[in-house]
A and B are shown apart, each in its own frame.
Chain A
Amino acid sequence: MNVLMLLATTRRVLDQLRHDHRSIALILVVPALLLTAVYFLYENETLATGAPRTFDRVGLMMLAIFPFVVMFLVTSITMLRERTSGTLERLLTTPIHKADLLFGYGLAFSIMAALQSLVATAVAYWIFGLDIQGSPGLVVMIAVINAVLGVALGLLCSAFARTEFQAVQFMPVVVVPQILLCGLFVARERMNEALEAVSNVLPLTFSVDALQEIATNTEATDQLWMDAGIMVAIVLAVLVLASLTLRRRTA
């Protein structure tokens, strides 16, 4: 590992993003707009006294899901371009270590994810009065871990796509099942056994679980740290798998 090469990569990826106004908008503006839509969806719900608003549950989960989906999309396309344009092969003839490249990507998109979740969390708290027990800092932390998860899966999936069209096809395969089964639509305890078993091993499940811990406890709980730890472990495992797809020598 070489920190200079890692940081050069981070800088390069951010520089590329800076020239791409649509991606910037997708990362920073779209989640806040979608959150607004979610708020108004539940605006007129009638609540039993003392019952929590649906927005407090769904909006909170959205804060974790946005960075995952957006970063998966942006990373898988960016990395696929890197593979097809020959820049990846060229980079791998230089002294850069694969880890410098992957973590350079990871760091760049984590920075973007942190900005994204700051914007989205701020909107949720200050404009729509999101009401949870725990600290917003922890929400941002989980959102960033989720973003890195999206980055790692995007880097990995890009190895199995030849075109950008094929890369986008991974969205319904890799991303949608996790959203369906993470506990957003139906609480996981109420799923049938097969679905719950699948849900138990999907990475996004742990982040939703972590957010529920944050929502119901004023202090960070052990369960929260365990969920976060498992997610970090999954991210690292996926990054190792992704590094195996970077071949210096090909047929």
Chain B
Amino acid sequence: MSHTAATAPAGPEPEVAVAASSLHVTRGNVSVLRGLDFSIHTGQITGLLGPSGSGKTTLMRAVMGVQLLTSGSVKVLGLPAGHPDLRHRVGYVTQSPSVYPDLTVEANVRYFGAMHRKGRAEAAEAIAAVGLDPQARQKTGDLSGGQLSRVSLACALVARPSLLVLDEPTVGLDPVLRADLWDRFRTMAESGTTLLVSSHVMEEASHCGSLLLLREGKLLAQLTPAELSQRGHSADLEKAFLHIIQDTAEGRSTEGTVRS
């Protein structure tokens, strides 16, 4: 490997892991995403924050390439989202745990691992990473809700993706476990994994290197947690977010009077 790296560098991962340009998604008659432009940096945790119904899940689906786009584009690791070559390199954990309840934890993780040529050792590692060692041989359906979502996470971790898209991964977890998971996400980011994590709990924003604030299908801002508290005039990120929403709303209403 060092040989190939010396002669022909495989090219470092592009600085930008995800790039969206004028992304529009309409589902039925509802315009869910309304012209998003943003980019996500490699090796960073990017938080996708916004109230429920703001389009977080649809945005994540667009990044995964499972969402039909109305217009615009999403590029992931230099390829169009959903490109077959990306299937080895991106991992997706949906909001409701998508695992087989009638299989053991181990069987679930091994099955999804098999799709990425990963075996027993990698499966055991992924199970340990989410703290489910003691439950490895239990039937997944018998676990608690929080444990179930960790099984779902392990099924994505086993593939060791370059980009990990997590839809509300910490919902229903106790504080200790939540802290553990954020530590793990940070370690992964430090080793070069890009993470896109959605949450509707603003306090989680402090764990992220960058934030995308989404509201009603529009991007309010892309900033760091520090910039958020500065622009929102509050150390409490929840309040800061509300301030930004109010500022934007006022800005929009003055705009509106001009237009109408």
Q: Residues on A close to B: CB < 8 A?
A: 4-5, 8-9, 11-12, 15-16, 19-20, 85-87, 89-96, 248-251
- In the complex, A180 Cα to B100 Cα: how many Å? 37
Pick 5 A–B contacts, CB within 8 A, sort by A: A12-B111, A19-B102, A87-B100, A93-B90, A95-B88
Bound together, the chains give a CA A93 to CA B107 distance in angstroms of 19
Of B87, B88, B139, the contact of A19 (CB 8 Å cutoff): B139
Would you give the shortest CB distance from B159 to chain A, in whole angstroms?
Answer: 7
User: In the complex, what distance in Å separates the CA atom of A113 from the CA atom of B58?
Assistant: 41
A251 and B103 alpha carbons, distance in the complex (Å)? 30
Given contacts A4-B117, A248-B66, contact A94 B112 (CB under 8 A): yes
List chain A residues, Cβ under 8 A from B82. Answer: 248-249
Can you list the 3 inter-chain pairs with the closest CB atoms, starting with the nearest?
A86-B98, A8-B114, A94-B115
| Chain A residues within an 8 Å CB radius of B224 | none
Known: A12-B107, A249-B67, A251-B27. A96 touches B115 (CB 8 A): yes
B155 nearest in chain A by CB position: A90
CA distance A46 to B88 in the complex (A): 67
Contacts beyond the supplied A12-B100, A86-B96: 15 A-B pairs with Cβ under 8 Å = A5-B114, A12-B111, A16-B102, A19-B103, A85-B98, A86-B94, A87-B100, A89-B94, A91-B115, A94-B112, A94-B116, A95-B116, A248-B66, A248-B82, A249-B66
| B83 vs chain A, min Cβ distance (A) | 11
Chain B residues within 8 Å of A9, by CB: 111
B94 touches A90 (CB 8 A): yes
Q: Cα distance A9–B155 when bound, in Å? A: 15
A166 smallest CB distance to B (angstroms): 21
Residues of A within 8 A of B124 (CB): none
Residues of B within 8 A of A (CB): 27, 64-68, 82, 84, 87-88, 90, 92, 94, 96, 98-103, 107, 111-112, 114-117, 139, 155, 159
User: Is B100 a contact of A93 with CB atoms below 8 Å?
Assistant: no
Question: A15, B98: Cβ atoms under 8 Å?
Answer: no
Interface pair B107/A92, CB less than 8 Å apart:
no
- Chain A residues with Cβ under 8 A from B27's Cβ? 251
A162 to chain B, nearest CB (A): 16
Which residue of the partner chain, among B66, B103, B116, B117, contacts A92 with CB atoms under 8 Å?
Answer: B66
A5 touches B115 (CB 8 A): yes
Complex contacts, B115 vs chain A, CB 8 Å: 5, 8, 91, 94-96
Q: A5-B115, A20-B102 are in contact. Are A94 and B107 (CB under 8 A)?
A: no
Most buried by A among B64, B65, B114, B117: B114
A8-B66 in contact given A20-B102, A89-B98 (Cβ < 8 Å): no
From A8, A16, A90, give the contact of B103 (CB < 8 A): A16
Closest chain-A Cβ to B86's Cβ sits at a distance in Å of 9
Q: Which residues of A contact B87 (CB under 8 A)?
A: 93-95
Alpha-carbon separation in the docked complex, A94 to B158 (Å): 12
Q: Please determine whether A251 and B66 come into contact, CB atoms closer than 8 angstroms.
A: no
Chain A residues within an 8 Å CB radius of B84 = 95
Contact of B92 among A5, A11, A90 (CB under 8 A): A90
By a CB distance below 8 angstroms, the chain B residues around A250 are: 66-68
Tell me the nearest residue of chain A to B94, going by C-beta.
A86
Tell me the complex Cα distance, A12–B103, Å: 8
B94 cross-chain contacts in A, Cβ below 8 A: 86, 89-90
Contacts of B65 in A (CB 8 A): 93, 248-249
Nearest Cβ distance between residue A24 and chain B, in whole angstroms? 13
What residue of chain B has the Cβ atom nearest to residue A89's Cβ? B66
Q: Complex: how many Å from CA A249 to CA B82?
A: 8
Measured between beta carbons, the chain B residues less than 8 angstroms from A11 are 111
Query: How far does the alpha carbon of A176 sit from the alpha carbon of B111 in the complex, in Å?
Result: 36
CB distance from B142 to the nearest CB of A (A): 11
A93 to B100 CA separation, bound complex (whole angstroms): 16
**Complex interface: chain B residues within 8 A of A85 (CB):** 98, 100-101
Q: B residues within 8 A CB of A20?
A: 102
Q: A94-B87, A249-B68 are in contact. Are A87 and B116 (CB under 8 A)?
A: no
- Inter-chain contact A8/B102, CB cutoff 8 Å: no
Q: Which residue on B lies nearest to A85, using beta carbons?
A: B98
Q: How far is the CA of A86 from the CA of B155 in the complex (A)?
A: 13
A96 to B87, CA, bound (A): 9
Give the chain A neighbours of B116 by CB distance below 8 A: 94-95
What is the minimal beta-carbon distance from B94 to any residue of chain A, in angstroms? 5
Shortest CB-to-CB span from A168 to chain B, Å, is 19
